Amino acid sequence: MAVEDRRSRTGTDVLIRKVDSHVAALRTGLHGPELELAERLAGCLRELVISTAQASAADRAQVRAAVHYFVLRRESQGRLLSVRSLAAAQRLVNRAARQLGRPDLTVEGRPGRDAMAPA
């Protein structure tokens, strides 16, 4: 049992580190509503990772997929997510939260059109 606990804790730590590293990178390029959305998505993902650490393999896989989608999603040539990518990640994360019985973790709101205009 202790080996399984250690393995799940390690997997949990890795996923949370991925989310945290990605948000740290986003902080250098995003501001205002986009950054706020990214931060809220990261908070939701962290909570989902923690709350499913002892859940079924299928539930953990769903959360892992949501984390990877958030962290690896690229729709532009740049290093950072576009606003459109954040909205797509938001839809996926919200769907995962609802399917896992955690509608309280859904992230509402999107960056407005002003957020997409170049600064």
Is the residue at 31 inside a domain?
Answer: yes
Tell whether 110 is covered by a domain.
no
Residue 119 clears pLDDT 60, i.e. is over it: no
Is the residue at 111 inside a domain? no
- Structurally, the chain folds into a number of domains equal to 1
**Burial (0-12, 13-18, 19+ Cβ within 10 Å), 41:** buried
Is residue 86 pLDDT above 90, yes or no?
no
Judge whether 107 and 94 are in contact, CB under 8 Å: yes
The domain containing residue 17 runs over which residues? 3-105
In one-letter notation, the amino acid at residue 9 is R
Q: Please indicate, yes or no, if residue 112 is contained in any of the structural domains.
A: no
Note whether 28 and 62 are within 8 A (CB).
no
Give yes or no for residue 1 having a pLDDT over 60. Answer: no
In a domain, 115, yes or no: no
- What's the pTM value of the predicted model, to 2 decimals? 0.78
pLDDT tens sequence across 27-38: 988 889 989 999
Give the SS3 label for residue 76: coil
- 3-class SS string, 52-67: CCCCCHHHHHHHHHHH
